[in-house]
Amino acid sequence: MAEEEQQDPHVAAKTIIAPGYTFGTVTDQIATVVLTKRTPIFWFVSFGTGLVLLLLFLLAVGLLFVKGVGIWGLRTPVMWGFAITNFVWWIGIGHAGTLISAILLLLNQRWRNSINRFAEAMTLFAVSCAGMFPVLHLGRPWLAYWLFPYPNTMGVQPNFRSPLVWDVFAVSTYATVSLLFWYVGLMPDLATLRDRTHNRFARFTYGIMAMGWRGSAKHWSIYETASLLLAGLATPLVLSVHTVVSFDFTIAIVPGWHSTFFPPYFVAGAIYSGFAMVLALAIPLRSVYGLQGLITDKHLDNAAKVMLATGLIVAYAYMMETFSAWYTTNVYEHQAIWHRMFGPYRVAYWSLISCNILAPQALWFKRVRSNPVLLFISSIVVLVGMWLERYVIIVSSLAQDYLPSSWSIFQATRWDWATYVGTIGLFLFLFFLFIRLLPMISIFEVRTLLPQAKVEEEVGN
């Protein structure tokens, strides 16, 4: 017996689902998190933190509406500052969710089944946070609808040759498609909740949201086609979104921005920070809710490997950035890199290099990858590093461009920080609301992982 018990964690480390689960226990374990009346303290603390920071965000935005963007540290020539840094950071985080739900589905990576639901939710909420910044940064956020082409009495239209307008379309399409994909994935699980709950109100609400899903074989066959098609559509979409975000920079002629390798570099960076966020969310969640049997050490190991791989791509991009600046023989490009490394932003630059290139090298070691605490710390380090990366790209390039007479250093104000931290609050608020009200792991997809789910064909049939 003792030997068997010792073997258990070893087996769990190698499989994507711990042994001993049945269709019933899987369903109950995931559904209970939502349907129980008892909520763990951890949830109240996290949700409360989110709520407090969300209030801070509302305060900062309220003041912004009254006084204008001058309350941020935006001064000529650095007119993008924190707002665009945060926009790129958040939207990058969202990318891992789509990668897990769409690209890994197409690649038939079945380990994704137990982490795709909350990763998609993370995408959705990260995109919501990202969307705040360009709109608030407009100066007159109440006129945000001017970004879309619509028949108007002013007789003007958006400039379709501008990457900023492309961004409007890319991000709004991304948000819509992510929402649709997430909802389609939820439908069968909402039906499960409808059938499991004893509360009339909950049954009614989940029933309406499940749209009468009853698990019919006819429906499942169409459903499988639909999810494959959506995955096929979301895959090029997710790659295009960060490519378009990088166009915001590369199409401008600012030294340090104007280069052709930004799109792949940005996409890799997005997935890098996104997987860091997946780990930062999954590690505490699985220990609080006792889900180690469903989100196993194998998942953490795989996510860490993806992080390591994309981190190396990002490291390569940093080297190429420096090399190509030197190779251009363009004095402004030389200067841009030189200022980044040894100028006023050197602290941010070298911190980002340590966070994004040096620290993640620890992930080569299996001992680090199998230790959830170390993984959690390294994912936070990567998140900080990726934020610094966008900050350095945006702020240092704008602060010192062609004309030394207009150089100026960016100083973030307390409202810059309040808005940024506030969106983290918005994210936590939405995410923990989701954890409490919807199944955080896709129940029906986990059922398909069980050995019992295989149909045993009789010989000669």
The residues that touch other proteins, with contacts defined as CB under 8 A, are: 22-24, 27, 149, 155-161, 163, 165-166, 169-170, 173, 176-177, 180-181, 183-184, 188, 191-192, 194-196, 207-208, 211-226, 229-230, 233-234, 236-237, 240, 244, 247, 444-445, 447-448, 452-458, 461
Helix (H, G, I), strand (E, B) or coil at 458: coil
Nearer to other proteins by Cβ, of 68 and 215: the residue is 215
- CA nearest to 360, candidates 341, 390, 340, 383: 383
Nearer to other proteins by Cβ, of 91 and 283: the residue is 91
DSSP state of 72: T
Nearer to other proteins by Cβ, of 70 and 212: the residue is 212
Interior angle at CA 426, CA 237 and CA 36, nearest 5: 100
Nearer to other proteins by Cβ, of 24 and 404: the residue is 24
Question: Hey, how many other C-beta atoms are within 10 angstroms of the C-beta on 315?
Answer: 17
Nearer to other proteins by Cβ, of 156 and 403: the residue is 156
- CA nearest to 296, candidates 283, 309, 308: 283
- Kindly state the smallest distance separating residue 285's Cβ from other proteins, in Å: 23
Nearer to other proteins by Cβ, of 131 and 311: the residue is 131
- Kindly state the smallest distance separating residue 196's Cβ from other proteins, in Å: 7
Helices (H), 328-409: 331-342, 346-353, 366-369, 372-391, 397-399
- CA nearest to 129, candidates 347, 405, 459, 421: 421
Question: Hey, how many other C-beta atoms are within 10 angstroms of the C-beta on 25?
Answer: 12
Joined together, the tokens standing for residue 159 give 């400039």
- Kindly state the smallest distance separating residue 181's Cβ from other proteins, in Å: 8
User: How far is 333 from 254, CA to CA, in rounded Å?
Assistant: 9
- Kindly state the smallest distance separating residue 350's Cβ from other proteins, in Å: 35
Nearer to other proteins by Cβ, of 37 and 218: the residue is 218
- Kindly state the smallest distance separating residue 173's Cβ from other proteins, in Å: 4
- Kindly state the smallest distance separating residue 443's Cβ from other proteins, in Å: 8
- Kindly state the smallest distance separating residue 251's Cβ from other proteins, in Å: 10
User: In this structure, which amino acid lies at residue 190?
Assistant: L
User: How far is 67 from 117, CA to CA, in rounded Å?
Assistant: 40
